[in-house]
């Protein structure tokens, strides 16, 4: 299975998370989790479009999620299981682009049977952790998802296929965010990873490219929902956070 040897696993207060990379050009990460107890956690800002399968209390359903531009408090029910497909930036659904799903405007697709759901007038089997790549490849062949190469060009900062304004419009349509917003979110997530790994606040400020500690504090308060000191003390459960690096 693609990327299985690199599976990462860790346990947190409310949730157990496992994730792996993918060789699919459409996918950034595949993750799954289950809850030990019910409670609240901080859902931190994220740049990516996702599909998430929820299994809880005998029900199964799939939800489309857009980017989150700020941290919010979320509730976690006990004894739930989740599978997530975090799509690579630039992967999107033309009929329901990420901008329409942004900041909690999630869409839950109707169920067809206990093992399938409706999408574009067809019944699709729910994916599992092992067959996500095949599921996403079928979506791409059906034209339900696509990728905009202009996004990769903007992220790399290389030669542009079109004008700067045209590429910016393509980026916004395919991701729901501006390039600047993506950089801000990814930098905050990167700084959080550094702090949770034991780096000092001063060193994390420099390593993540912030002007000074107040700049870091403002960013993390907005995008993560905690100050740097609160993150180092693991003051509250955070949503899924894997090792990352700031966008160029």
Beta-sheet pairing, 91-92 with 39-43: unpaired
Is residue 61 included in any domain, yes or no? yes
Beta bridge mates, 74: 41
**For residue 66, what is the domain's CATH number?**
2.60.40
Counts of helices then strands in the chain (DSSP H, E): 7, 14
* pLDDT higher than threshold 90 for residue 190: yes
* Token representation of residue 158: 């290389």
Beta bridge mates, 83: 32, 53
Is residue 71 included in any domain, yes or no? yes
Domain residues for 62? Answer: 4-147
Share of the chain above pLDDT 90, in %: 73
Integer Cα distance of 9 and 241 in angstroms: 11
Residue 84 neighbours by CB under 8 Å, 6+ apart: 29, 30, 31, 32, 33, 50, 51, 52, 53, 240
* pLDDT higher than threshold 50 for residue 199: yes
Is residue 160 included in any domain, yes or no? no
Q: What is the pLDDT of residue 3?
A: 41
Q: At what angle do helices 179-196 and 213-223 cross, to 10 degrees?
A: 100
**pTM (two decimals):** 0.88
Is residue 89 included in any domain, yes or no? yes
Q: How many domains does the chain have?
A: 1
């Amino acid at each position: 299975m693609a990327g299985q040897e690199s599976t990462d696993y860790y346990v947190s207060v409310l949730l157990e998370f496992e994730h792996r990379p993918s060789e699919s050009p459409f996918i950034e990460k595949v993750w799954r989790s289950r809850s030990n107890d019910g409670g609240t956690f901080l859902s931190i800002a994220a740049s990516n479009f996702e599909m998430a399968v929820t299994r809880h209390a005998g029900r199964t359903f799939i939800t489309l999620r857009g980017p989150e531009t700020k941290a919010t408090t979320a509730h976690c029910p006990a004894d739930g299981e989740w599978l997530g497909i975090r799509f690579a930036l630039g992967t999107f659904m033309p009929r329901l682009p990420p901008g329409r799903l942004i900041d909690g405007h999630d869409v839950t697709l109707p169920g067809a049977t206990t093992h399938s759901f409706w999408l574009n007038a067809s019944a699709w089997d729910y994916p599992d952790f092992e067959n996500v790549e095949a599921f996403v490849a079928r979506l791409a062949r059906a034209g339900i998802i696509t990728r905009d190469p202009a996004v990769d060009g903007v992220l790399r900062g290389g030669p542009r296929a079109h004008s700067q304004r045209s590429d910016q419009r393509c980026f916004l349509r395919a991701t729901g965010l501006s390039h600047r917003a993506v950089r801000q979110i990814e930098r905050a997530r990167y700084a959080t990873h550094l702090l949770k790994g034991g780096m000092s606040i001063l060193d994390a400020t420099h390593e993540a490219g912030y002007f000074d500690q107040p700049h870091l504090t403002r960013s993390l308060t907005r995008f993560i929902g905690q100050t740097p000191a609160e993150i180092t003390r693991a003051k509250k459960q955070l949503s899924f956070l894997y090792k990352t690096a700031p966008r160029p």
